[in-house]
Structure 1
Amino acid sequence: MYLNALIKTYVEKFILAGYKTPINEIRAMISDTIDISLINQITNSEIIINEKEEKKLKKALNRRIKKEPKERILNKKIFRDVDLILNKNTFIPRSETELLIDIVIEKKISPKYLLELGTGSGAISISLMKNFPQSRTVATDINQKSLKLAKKNAKKNKVIDQINFICCNWLDIFVNIEFDLIVANPPYIRTGVINSLDPEVKKYDPHLALDGGLDGLNAYKEILHALKPLLKPNTVIIFEIGFDQAKKVSKLMKEVNIMNIKVFKDYSNKDRFIMGSKKI
């Protein structure tokens, strides 16, 4: 089958599904699914795909029409410098979350011992360990299936020896363990807002990774309450936050003696990260 004929067939389907740039969506799926480059697609109108490629591509495009995220269809994503395997059990790491790693590097935190709460696919811990080869991390998650995938990703990215993966609810087991850096991208979306989210998010991301309770702050309250007796002087804490949560999370941090608070913007110039350290 000629590839261009298949593209023409699917353009109308993508338009009816509400895509504003259908040709871009289709070409991207072609590149990722059957490895025909965008340049080749545009410059060569005589590309013929075999029956196996046609079947594979149609299956992927039919899923994408239903607003299933590309990363979910392909079961993979590049997160900064990390080649991730994904599955239905894990939240798809967002591009803006990559900025958390940039903050750690630019602020020259250089942690010896790091803790990540709610690691999911392992993206944050793995990227940090690739950038800090002398560091060690404890990465936790309440979902055993997520941890299994995170371990696979750590092995794939050659940092498995630097990370200890533990299944637990936030800080349940970390009595008398001190860390230089604690990071988390917890669920922070208000329960009442979830149904209004994009179909790509509300239908395909695990709600456990989205739902932050009535005010979106449940996870921060639980984490900070558990952290209070464990913080050592100058322990740095970095949270990803919702765009309108900086003041509220800052207040929660100050209540457990975390000071020197700074807020960082994302690519859209919205508040996205908050950093503080325990007052000496």
Structure 2
Amino acid sequence: MEIEQLVRQLQQKVDELNQVVLQLRQQQQQQQEDGRATRGSVDQLVRDSADTNWAAACSIDREERQKFYSVRLLRSRNAGALPCEATPAGVEAFLQCEVGSVQHVERMRDNALGKQRYIVWFSTAEAATAAYAGFRDSSNAAQALLVQKKTRLQNALVDLAIQLQQLGRGQCGYGEELVVQVRGKAIVVKLGEGELVPYPFRQHLPSGRIPSPGEPFLHLNAGRLGQQLKQLLCKPPPPTQNSSSSASGTCTNIKSVKSITKR
């Protein structure tokens, strides 16, 4: 009898331990599910924050564009000084535009190539447009360029496009056929005479904010860019002399590329 009672007690202890183990496993499973949910929530918060920052940057860009409608940048085509003084009268004479159309002129720091630059404020956006149209067809246009002043967002996208093109043509091996352009608030790529395809540039701005001058873009490397260009352009880079003949690729993602171009 004592042995049977001892066995029953031991079995009861085993059942209790099994119940504890089951509860611990359930708790562990719940913690894992909570962890996945938390990670998903954090990832969503990061994406939402990036979208909010980007929307704010686009809003600021629209305001800057409105301010710059009557502003132009006058830059020498060659290294050296502009052939006019940094005064309204001097710029009006050089541009051969209507007297009184230029309100203010400010000299900027020369660019990296030593070309002198002025910021020119016109009286109205119409005056700026008329001055550009007249200057474009004048003989003085061979000495300088008159262009619209870019916003901070535009400058950042142009800088990114230049880096993408240099990396794609060089280390990725696409050569001069690869073209990267800025269109509004987007970056597009094409190969030779092919169609322009939107490039997912936001990956280089994961926080959604515009980087400060000199601040590097993130996730910008030859390996990652090469894979994306191959997918977007539906074509790998041309094989080099040392590459095997099997390096030529085929289009494996026609549907996805077409869907991208339709957006």
TM category, shorter:
under 0.3
Structure whose alpha-carbon radius of gyration is higher? 2
Q: Please give the TM-score of this superposition, normalised by the length of structure 1.
A: 0.25
Q: TM-score, normalising length from structure 2? A: 0.26
**Larger RCO (CA under 8 A, 6+ residues apart):** 2
